[in-house]
Amino acid sequence: MAVWTEIMGRYDGEETSWTALVGAGYTSPYTPKANCRLRKLSIVQAAGAATTLIDAVVFRLTHAGFRPVNSLEVGYYGGGVQTNANHKMNQGIAAEWEVDQQLQAGVPVVIEAKNISAQTAVTVDVLLIGTFEG
């Protein structure tokens, strides 16, 4: 079995209600290129500006083949205000979630995200990376 990673989506919004990912180059839905199992979801944040404020982001993945329910929700608590856009302490993998879901080539997975912090999010830039086996 091969194991690989792919960027499944990019969230660069400040919405507080579920919104389909529209981040440059990685929009929803994500469509698998091969039959495989989704084994892990990793959330990676980046500080794009000195004013970046990322406190809490959640992702929802919806796929008819997910069991026992059709949606998965994962999230993380962000790094707060980035006082220097080059400050690397809060960048990188913010959270990892072990999952085990079957995916079929060509069958899309809808990915949505939202901010759930009481703070007003600013210049959010977060990647959702999947680890696959197949």
Task: Give the integer Cα–Cα distance in Å for 47 and 123.
Answer: 8
What is the per-residue pLDDT across 4-13, written as a single tens digit (0 to 9) for each? 999 999 888 7
Task: Give the integer Cα–Cα distance in Å for 30 and 21.
Answer: 10
The distance from CA 75 to its chain's CA centroid, rounded to whole angstroms, is: 8
- 68 CB-near residues (< 8 Å, 6+ apart): none
- State the pLDDT confidence band at 83, using cuts at 50, 70 and 90: low
- pLDDT beyond 80 at 93: no
What is the per-residue pLDDT across 14-37, written as a single tens digit (0 to 9) for each? 888 999 988 777 888 999 999 999
- pLDDT beyond 70 at 130: yes
pTM listed for this prediction:
0.84
CATH tag, 3-133: 2.60.120
Burial class (CB in 10 A: 0-12, 13-18, 19+), 67: exposed
